[in-house]
Structure 1
Amino acid sequence: MLIPLYIRKLLIIRKMAIIGKIREKSGLLVTMVGLGLFLFIIPVNDLLQQFSGGANSTLGMFNNSEIDANDWKYYNRENLTRNNLRINNLNSGGNGSLTSADEDQIKVTSWNQMISDTIYHYELNKLGIKVSADELNQGLLNGENPLPSSLKELFVKNGLYNKDSFNIWKTNRIINLPDNPESKKDLKNNIEDPLKNERRISKYSSMIKNGILGTIQESKRAANEEKITSNIKYIFISYDDINDTLINLDENEKKNFYDQHSNEKIWDQKQDLVSYDYSILTFKPSSSDINNYTSRMESLKEDFKSSKNDSLFVANYAETPMTVQSPYGPRSSGNFTGQPYKGGKFSSFIDEKIKNGKKKDIIGPFVNGDKIQLVKIYETGDEEQAKVRHILINSKEGDLDDAKNKKLADSILYAIRRDSSKFRSLVSKYSDDPGSISNGGVYAWFPKGQMVPEFEEFSFTKKIGKSGVVRTNYGFHIIQVLGRKVGSFKKIAIVDETIQVSKTTQNEYYDSVALAFYYKADSTNFNNAADELGFEVKSSGYVPLIYPNRRSSGLYGPADLNRNMNISRWAFNSNVGDLLEPEYISNNQLVLAVLKEKIIADEISFNNLGSLMEPMVKNYLKANYYKNKFSSKIAQIKSIDSISILLNMDVVNKLVKYSDANIGNNTQELAEPKVMAYIFNLSANEISPIIEGKKGIYIIQNISLNNNAIVDESSIIQKAEIQQKEMRSQIEQGYYPALYNSYNVRDDRAKNMIMSN
């Protein structure tokens, strides 16, 4: 039997009420001051630690000392961040629950803030940076024009500081503060101390940034480097285009490369890494599963048909909620919108049944994708509908091109009025509305209330055949009215439920397919077994033993593995070659995997780094292959065009500067210092030998070199100022990561979680 959604909601409400009681008894204090200034404080929840790694309270290392979770009050920070997010969720119309992405962010934020606070505590005290009482009261809290701070930013809108709003807040929050110890403590902890600390960090950052000076001598050097240029012809062969079969990659070659390069900083690996190949096995509900869900939905038909409150019925029995969260706030899911149904949500067969149905008709149950659904026609009627075609020219009032866009729209309108047969071609050429370009700009038979007001007013009031330009928030619309009619509409309500694979079906698939794959992979080879059974093999790439963050899914690996912790534990606790037994990652998906690589942090042995070095060893061998095969021939040839015939590669012409990082000076590509050094050490018309670059091999001919740089002395001071600004910007962005590394910070939280289970 389906559990009504209102019962599930009651359980959530009850849970939140219990949390509310806990907060009430713990003396929860909420003070909103933004960006870390306004926080609410609750007591430490020691239970959290019991669910986050057991008895091991060591979280990592800081300045060569262990970070003890209790001493550093780490779980206080997690709990505080978690409850702040819950409050924000509730204030945004949610139910206070957090997503897995939220939980990831809690861990990342808590750790980063804890380390940041500690680093700055040491640095600020070491230098004796302080904030005086006058600086606080007459500067940061000065209502006329306070010093820059995150508090001030709360009262800045469109670049303008609102003095009145700030002073109202100051009066309510500080001046009229009750004269008692609790209020004074609140003021100090939640306003004064955070403001002072933020100001101290700002001073520290300014000291570092403004200590960088751009010198005249450095500017002259940089200006000279930009003036020194070379016209070159070159041939480039990417390592990716050189077939692996041309080289012999054996252990001796790897060992030789390791002996020469193991001391390079590139191999300084700070995190454990694993790499595995995996296959996802997806299976469908059986006919028996579908029949069971169909029967369950069938039992609701009569109640749905006789329901007096269809929106409440949908809210109680539909799996899909009536509203879902989106980046733009709550929006309708489509199960009960109050709007006429326009078709396209179901198959053409079901859409036809809805079109021909009557009020209170129930259609279904039927399977739609992975759901079983019932549809009720709860309202029918007639409505005025319009059919138009349009061309949209995107534009915003106040934009520099706004007048130009209006002129373009008027020109298109003039062309259409002279010859309306050109409308479709003009749509293709000019329209910025991707949703209507394919059908000539037509919007067919829409009712009132569906379009923005200006568009709707023209469509429903102008004569058929009339054309004109209308401005909306989207820009300028060149509209032509094609027709109007009175049409019928149907409003529908949908009850749905996802068809889950039953335990019986799961077991049958596991035993007959998944285990067959596993045993074949175990006795032969994972990739061969997958190929024989018709399963795709994917590579995880390198998976780091860290918590997920904005840049990486961390220890969970590829997103399609659905954050399965069992896979992570297997990967980091197994040996290369070990197989993962079939593991469920969803109701109807199993994954099997084989561990391909395992690299241990801070371990510089050949056995540990050999596989990580392998791509570079291949590139090294490919370069050597070309050197051994072609170097002597190339040395005898005087024209790079002839060399291009020998290698069957194109010649490219390029002007390069001495200051360029690579040919083309593409900052998104790897720097090629060896290649650039060769270019500016070649004589006129001299051809280089084969150069081993980072992306491939190069052969370069220097056609001409200009090294008679004449620097405009009057521009040097301005250039020095520009360089100083750029360097200070780089320092401002990069000094904290350097500080982080200097304190030898190591985060072992993910490792403890993986290894202790």
Structure 2
Amino acid sequence: MGLMTFLRNRAGFILIGFIGFAIVAFLLSDAIKVGKPFWADSQRVVGSVDGQEIGIEEFGKKVEQSEAQFKQQYGGSSNPQMQAMAVENVWNGEVANILLAKEYGRIGLTVSGDELYDLLQGKNPSPLIAQYFGNPQTGQVDRAAVINSLKQSSKNPQLKSQWDLLQAEIEKQALQKKYGNLIKNSVYVTTIEANDEYQNRNKLAKFDYVNLDYASIADATLKLSESDYSDYYNEHKNLFDNPAETRSFEYVSFSVNPTKEDSAAVKNQIEKLAVDFKTAKNDSLFSAINSDVKVPYVYLSKGKLDKAVDSAVFALPAGSFYGPKLSGNSYKLVKVVDTRFSPDSVKASHILIDAAKVGGTDKAVKLADSLKGLVEKGTSLASLAAQYSSDPGSKDKGGELGTFARGQMVPEFENAAFNGKAGDLKVVRSQYGVHLIKIEKQVGSSKVAKLAYIEKNLTSSSKTKDAAYKKATGFLNEAKGDNFSSLAQKKGYTVGVADKVTASQGYAPGLDNPRPLIKDAYAAAKGDVLGQVYQMENAFVVARLTDIKPKGLLPLESVKKDIEPMVRQAVKAKTLTEKLNNALKGAGNLNQVAQKVGKQVVPVENIVFGNPVLPGVGQENKLIGTVFGSAVNKVSSPVAGDHGVYAFTVAAFTNPAPLANTYKQKETMLLSVGQRALGSAFQALQDKSKIKDNRVKFY
């Protein structure tokens, strides 16, 4: 694949990763001259990293690029979740670019001219060069194609711009690799650590235990005191360091899903359409005008339609009519215009002639016909492509397009390639110009069908939407900060909860388009009913902000409700520990302890430290850790675990054979440690930087 084809498909990713972009800034003096207030610049700043601002213009362009790439990758149309992913992707990229660029400068990390030359056209090409100029069969880079493209870039400003972009990305990747290697090479694993890891994963423990389950104490019997809460909070303060501000809200949804009357109206409409569709003179035009879902009027292979109708339609002969069929949330009508057997894929080459450059379409067709004649007489299409083709993605490869399936080319090109036979030369027009196509090879054969397709969605009527909106506005007018939940309950509405939502979050439980609501929630005060009705795909929503958790160490009052289950468990642990301690007094063995507390001794074996799971119970880190630090044949003190309080006696340990290959063990551990180190290093850069995030003002 050539550079321009690469750009067409991948430019969005490169733009996102590109280090160093121009930020539009207005000087204060200029602002004063034109009468603009001094704070207006802040309205154009998405955020900043250590004082380096990220402007909305460039940031917005990159978000659009990223969103387009997500659409291409995942299919379908854009949605709030996809946009949120794009915004998050670009933001993380911008923060990383700024922080890493500063770090590279601080430690003097660069890519020399010789290194860059080697990465572009030397013996050690960048993975990007290998990807876009490499032979798929051999994996070898076509250096001649690289050099030729670089030479052409000196005469082609657009190609030069793209090479600049690619070179910047290659340089960035090289710097990232160097930085990553520096971090990874700074960590090591000692022989002691290697042996410990081996023991942790292979040493076996056999022990007996008695368990007093937390579930044996009913929650209703506990009365938690303030000291219970403060004790737990003080012992676990590290858990309450909030990395980013979050907000919580409650909401009521008013559904606008189609009613029975709406469904009946759509059914009536599709039945009338079916009558007209059967007799329509222009099938493609009729379906294009009347369908809510546009299916191309081309030959389709089996598996492209809704599963409920696909098999039925492909079993029908040409001239058949199918439907109306209700499937999912829509009715389908299909007219089978034609069927045939066709190749599954085609390998082809082409020469693309730009009509604008040769004086119009007629002249382009004449030129294509002339080139066709030359090829028929033995001239190489590859040599003609290099001279005449306007497609930079294929001309440097002799016009080769590789192998493609149906749906990957424009209809005119696809029809010519799939309807001919191997060896054919065809001249066709498309939106890109005039093509001389050579069909190199056709692979496989399966049934395809040309279909005129109509799909009508079950949608809500304006009457249904108006009724839902009226209910929502009525509730909004009545709801106050202190009566939101009680009013909803009184009216029989269900209250939903979205807890700990970040400013950039693109999703919320039960809401398909939450961004406008989240933006307003971040501009509201705790307890406020948000001042508008929010429209989701199938509902109107009214919401109230219930909680704000700022960034940093959260106070006890802010987390009190969240930690209540853990505090309750801690109180139970104290009670059960005391009970077990009383049973341990005077007991000579674990059976006597079990008898005192009315429990049975449970034997377990083949337990390893590296997988601290107690069979039939679950993960018990503290218990298993204590077991491996205990002496054999000694009754333990109580251990408060995740599921209960335990007393145990170790019966035996089985040591593994000595570690035969310490080097291999170290190498395996280094791989994991190195990866963690790189992430930790970048997290440290963020922690020590002043990052201001204003995305919620824009998205």
Q: Would the TM-score normalized by the shorter structure come out above 0.5? A: yes
The answer for the alignment partner of 1:146 in structure 2 is 124
Q: How many residues are treated as equivalent by the alignment? A: 566
Counterpart-to-counterpart distance in 2, 1:540 and 1:88 = 26
Residue 148 of structure 2 aligns to which amino acid in structure 1? N
Q: Structure 1 residues 81, 271: closer, same or farther in 2, change over 3 A?
A: closer
The answer for the alignment partner of 2:386 in structure 1 is none
The answer for the alignment partner of 1:675 in structure 2 is 623
The answer for the alignment partner of 2:566 in structure 1 is 616
Q: Structure 1 residues 363, 251: closer, same or farther in 2, change over 3 A?
A: same
- Map residues 91-490 of structure 1 onto 2, 5 A cutoff: 98-137=78-117, 139-143=118-122, 145-155=123-133, 160-163=138-141, 165=142, 167-178=143-154, 186=161, 189-223=164-198, 230-235=205-210, 243-262=218-237, 264=238, 266-276=239-249, 278=251, 280-282=253-255, 285-286=258-259, 289=262, 293=266, 297=270, 300=273, 303-322=276-295, 331-333=304-306, 340=313, 370-371=329-330, 373=331, 375=333
Contact 1:230 1:702 survives alignment (8 Å): no
Q: Structure 1 residues 316, 679: closer, same or farther in 2, change over 3 A?
A: same
1:604 lines up with 2:604 in the alignment: no
The DSSP-based 3-state class of the residue aligned with 2:552 is: coil
The DSSP-based 3-state class of the residue aligned with 1:698 is: strand
The answer for the alignment partner of 1:82 in structure 2 is 64
The answer for the alignment partner of 2:686 in structure 1 is 740
Contact 1:635 1:689 survives alignment (8 Å): no
- 1:653 is aligned, of 604, 616, 619, to 604
The DSSP-based 3-state class of the residue aligned with 1:609 is: helix
1:719 lines up with 2:670 in the alignment: no
The answer for the alignment partner of 2:502 in structure 1 is 544
Contact 2:258 2:458 survives alignment (8 Å): yes
Contact 1:271 1:546 survives alignment (8 Å): no
Counterpart-to-counterpart distance in 2, 1:228 and 1:93 = 46
Contact 2:513 2:537 survives alignment (8 Å): no
Shift of 1:79: 0.5
Q: Structure 1 residues 202, 268: closer, same or farther in 2, change over 3 A?
A: same
The answer for the alignment partner of 1:408 in structure 2 is none
The answer for the alignment partner of 1:704 in structure 2 is 651
Counterpart-to-counterpart distance in 2, 1:683 and 1:728 = 35
- 2:512 is aligned, of 537, 562, 566, to 562
Shift of 1:561: 0.8
- 1:692 is aligned, of 635, 640, 662, to 640
Contact 1:37 1:195 survives alignment (8 Å): no
- 2:674 is aligned, of 728, 731, 737, to 728
Residue 614 of structure 1 aligns to which amino acid in structure 2? E
Counterpart-to-counterpart distance in 1, 2:148 and 2:537 = 54
The DSSP-based 3-state class of the residue aligned with 2:242 is: coil
Contact 2:335 2:452 survives alignment (8 Å): yes
Q: Structure 1 residues 749, 376: closer, same or farther in 2, change over 3 A?
A: closer
Residue ranges of structure 2 left out of the alignment (5+ in a row): 1-5, 25-39, 340-443
The answer for the alignment partner of 2:362 in structure 1 is none
Residue 141 of structure 1 aligns to which amino acid in structure 2? L
Query: TM-score, with normalisation over the residues of structure 1?
Result: 0.61
Residue 185 of structure 2 aligns to which amino acid in structure 1? N
The DSSP-based 3-state class of the residue aligned with 1:542 is: strand
Residue 503 of structure 2 aligns to which amino acid in structure 1? L
Counterpart-to-counterpart distance in 1, 2:264 and 2:667 = 76
Q: Structure 1 residues 685, 575: closer, same or farther in 2, change over 3 A?
A: farther
Residue 313 of structure 2 aligns to which amino acid in structure 1? P
Counterpart-to-counterpart distance in 2, 1:511 and 1:232 = 67
Residue ranges of structure 1 left out of the alignment (5+ in a row): 1-28, 47-52, 344-354, 382-472, 474-489
Counterpart-to-counterpart distance in 2, 1:309 and 1:126 = 69
Q: Structure 1 residues 566, 204: closer, same or farther in 2, change over 3 A?
A: closer
1:56 lines up with 2:29 in the alignment: no
- 1:632 is aligned, of 562, 573, 582, to 582
Counterpart-to-counterpart distance in 1, 2:225 and 2:334 = 69
Counterpart-to-counterpart distance in 2, 1:329 and 1:524 = 56
Query: TM-score, with normalisation over the residues of structure 2?
Result: 0.65
Counterpart-to-counterpart distance in 2, 1:132 and 1:329 = 54
Counterpart-to-counterpart distance in 2, 1:614 and 1:653 = 33
1:589 lines up with 2:539 in the alignment: yes
Counterpart-to-counterpart distance in 1, 2:472 and 2:102 = 59
Deviations along 1:351-393, one digit per CA (max 9) or x if unpaired, are xxxx9xx9898977x977654x474766799xxxxxxxxxxxx
Counterpart-to-counterpart distance in 1, 2:17 and 2:176 = 23
Counterpart-to-counterpart distance in 2, 1:267 and 1:87 = 37
Contact 2:211 2:646 survives alignment (8 Å): yes
Contact 1:685 1:701 survives alignment (8 Å): no
RMSD of Structure 2 on Structure 1 (CA): 5.2
Contact 2:251 2:496 survives alignment (8 Å): yes
Contact 1:237 1:697 survives alignment (8 Å): yes
Contact 1:285 1:502 survives alignment (8 Å): yes
The DSSP-based 3-state class of the residue aligned with 1:340 is: helix
Counterpart-to-counterpart distance in 2, 1:169 and 1:156 = 9
Counterpart-to-counterpart distance in 2, 1:285 and 1:604 = 45
Shift of 1:653: 0.9
The DSSP-based 3-state class of the residue aligned with 1:141 is: helix
1:504 lines up with 2:491 in the alignment: no
Shift of 1:494: 5.8
Q: Structure 1 residues 341, 680: closer, same or farther in 2, change over 3 A?
A: closer
Contact 1:149 1:199 survives alignment (8 Å): no
Counterpart-to-counterpart distance in 2, 1:529 and 1:648 = 48
The DSSP-based 3-state class of the residue aligned with 1:700 is: strand
Shift of 1:310: 2.6
Could you tell me the percent identity over the aligned residues?
A: 16
